[in-house]
């Protein structure tokens, strides 16, 4: 588990990459089109570091609040401009140049997503195979014919290999509003069936909040692993209690522990509570006392399990491609997530999805830490997702966002003259209010998840 400092560092890394790429898009296109750039800032507030570069002496700044950034260009609306430099002012540029400069920020976010997704697929994406474990009695999955051991190989004829694919494809179907989803399954005897699941009681919130499989009545098949330790982390609760690699947990508080799942559940549900453990060490039975650390309400002791040799082949699957196919897959994924983000925003506006699904910086920080902790492919996937989301949100026609400027340019194109400065100021105030309300809601949701979930 990452410490608070590590989470903050991971969050800063993610935000810095996203903001730098977005603002570099504005900067690069502005420079190519002859507009003078005065400042390129990563973050807001007090400058922690600054450096002037190039013939224009553009000021590059790292600021104290790493929650955004900006590119300041020469503009007559923000101060006097020397006569010899007026042709380089942003407001003096023809409409297509201003449009290109504004749209470049979100476009570079999409380009970043394509790059990181290509790297992700080349590195390999590993996940649990879509094998069905327990099927809840009288659930809609059981009524459709699901049985333990079935493997889901397609959702509405879209091929799936991992559980992540199954949930993603199911969400796409639910967004279209049908009441049935067809799951193609393969049995342990290699027979193939199409099972029709009635999902009229399902909501998009069930997917967004991670409850989809539970409400469906299915749990992923998870192998039963012995409670044998492969590694004891340094300076952990387990190390201080005397646990060592190769130890087998036999019981907790005189309750037999049959496998790793039982051990993990007992530890996670006893944060900060003393546990009497019976351990088998070098064929000897020992009794030790340990107290799991309390990490966000869950007990942790700092150990890793011993994974059986056949686990990876039997239960995990890896998607791995060469550059060409990885690039094509990245284009498809970037497009799909862009459309999904837009559709989810639309469903929130029409109240078909709860506003509780809106996340803020605390949630992003938490998942940044988890993504870094879980390896390169997971980190790249997370970075691509946030980059696409940033690109899409910035294109929304909200004043102060890039999309708001583009909306004004569309009006200018239609009416033949720019929007009046007074009108623009009014809409900017409205946009600021909307953004502050949205940010407030996101932070409120973050704290609610943090303290009440």
Q: What is the pLDDT of residues 238-286, one digit of tens each?
A: 888 888 888 899 999 999 998 888 888 899 899 889 999 999 988 889 8
Domain 125-223+312-319 coded CATH 2.60.120.260:
no
104 close to 27: Cβ distance less than 8 angstroms: no
pLDDT interval class at 423 (50, 70, 90): confident
**Residue 162: what are its φ and ψ, rounded to 5°?**
-115, 160
Degrees (nearest 5) of the Cα angle 77, 81, 86? 95
Upper half-sphere CA count for residue 83 (Cβ side, 13 Å)? 0
| Cross-strand pairs, 400 | none
The label of the residue with tokens 């790059």 reads: 115
Residue (of 246, 219, 242, 241) closest to 230 by Cα position: 246
Mean per-residue pLDDT, 324-340: 91
Q: Count Cα neighbours of 283 within 13 Å in the Cβ-side half-sphere.
A: 0
Tell me which residue of 392, 442, 405 sits closest to 113, measured CA to CA: 392
Mean per-residue pLDDT, 424-434:
81
CATH of 229-307, one of 1.10.510.10, 2.30.42.10, 3.40.50.2020, 3.40.47.10: 2.30.42.10
Say whether 188 is catalytic.
no
Catalytic residue among 23, 168, 169, 278: 23
Percent of the chain with pLDDT over 70: 89
Of the segments 16-20, 63-67, 112-116, 231-235, which one has the largest average pLDDT value? 112-116
Most confident of 196-205, 377-386, 442-451: 377-386
Which residues lie below 8 Å from residue 19, measured CB to CB, with a gap of 6+?
42, 43, 66, 68, 69
| CATH 2.30.42.10 in the chain, residue ranges | 125-223+312-319, 229-307
Return the pLDDT at 276.
Answer: 92
pTM of the model: 0.79
Residues 171-199 as b/e (b if ≥16 CB within 10 A, e otherwise) read: bbbbbeeeeebebbbbeeeeeeeebebeb
* pLDDT band, very low/low/confident/very high, at 117 (cuts 50, 70, 90): very high
Which residue in 114, 146, 148, 118 sits closest to 387, CA to CA?
A: 114
**Mean pLDDT in residue range 273-300:** 87
Q: Contact 46/62 with Cβ under 8 angstroms?
A: no
Which of 16-20, 229-233, 339-343, 397-401 tops mean pLDDT?
A: 16-20
CA–CA distance, 15 with 362 (Å, rounded to integer): 12
| 388/72 Cα distance (integer angstroms) | 24
What's the number of CA atoms in the CB half-sphere (13 Å) around residue 388?
23
* Across 31-56, average pLDDT: 90
Q: Tell me the pLDDT tens digit for each residue of 390-422.
A: 999 999 888 888 999 999 999 999 988 888 878
Tell me the C-alpha distance between 180 and 216, whole Å: 12
């Amino acid at each position: 588990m990452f410490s608070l400092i590590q989470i903050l560092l991971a969050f800063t890394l993610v935000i810095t990459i996203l903001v730098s790429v977005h603002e570099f898009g504005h900067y690069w296109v502005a420079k190519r089109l002859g507009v003078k750039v005065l400042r390129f800032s990563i973050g807001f507030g007090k400058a922690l570091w600054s450096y002037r570069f190039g013939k224009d002496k553009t000021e590059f700044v790292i600021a104290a609040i790493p929650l955004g950034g900006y590119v300041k260009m020469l503009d007559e609306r923000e101060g006097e401009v020397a006569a010899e430099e007026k042709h380089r002012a942003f407001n003096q540029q023809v409409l297509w140049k201003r449009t290109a400069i504004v749209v470049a920020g979100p476009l570079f976010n999409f380009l970043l997503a394509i790059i990181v997704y290509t790297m992700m697929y080349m590195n390999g994406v590993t996940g649990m195979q879509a094998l069905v474990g327990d099927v809840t009695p009288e659930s809609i999955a059981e009524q459709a014919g699901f049985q333990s051991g079935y493997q889901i190989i397609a959702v509405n004829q879209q091929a799936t290999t991992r559980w992540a694919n199954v949930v993603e494809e199911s969400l796409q179907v639910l967004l279209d509003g049908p009441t049935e989803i067809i799951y193609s399954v393969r049995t342990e005897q290699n027979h193939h069936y199409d099972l029709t699941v009635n999902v009229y009681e399902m909501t998009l919130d069930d997917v967004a909040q991670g409850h989809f499989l539970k409400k469906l009545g299915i749990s992923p098949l998870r192998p039963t692993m012995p409670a044998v330790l492969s590694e004891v982390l340094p300076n952990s609760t387990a190390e201080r209690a005397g646990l060592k690699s190769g130890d087998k947990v036999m019981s907790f508080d005189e309750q037999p522990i049959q496998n790793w799942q039982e051990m993990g559940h007992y530890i996670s549900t006893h944060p900060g509570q003393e546990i009497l453990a019976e351990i088998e060490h070098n064929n000897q039975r020992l009794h030790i006392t340990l107290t799991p650390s309390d990490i966000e309400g869950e007990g942790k002791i700092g150990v890793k399990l011993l994974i059986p040799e056949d686990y990876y082949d039997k239960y995990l699957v890896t998607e791995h491609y060469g550059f060409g196919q990885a690039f094509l897959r990245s284009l498809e994924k970037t497009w799909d997530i862009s459309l999904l983000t837009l559709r989810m925003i639309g469903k929130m506006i029409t109240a078909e999805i709860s506003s509780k699904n809106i996340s803020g910086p605390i949630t992003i920080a938490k998942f940044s830490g988890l993504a870094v902790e879980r390896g390169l492919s997971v980190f790249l996937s997370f970075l691509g997702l946030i980059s696409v989301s940033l690109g899409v949100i910035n294109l929304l026609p909200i004043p102060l966002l890039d999309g708001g400027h583009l909306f004004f340019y569309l009006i200018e194109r239609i009416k033949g003259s720019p929007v009046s400065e007074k009108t623009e100021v009014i809409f900017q105030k409205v946009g600021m209010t909307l953004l502050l309300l949205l940010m407030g809601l996101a932070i409120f949701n973050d704290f609610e998840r943090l303290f009440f979930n």
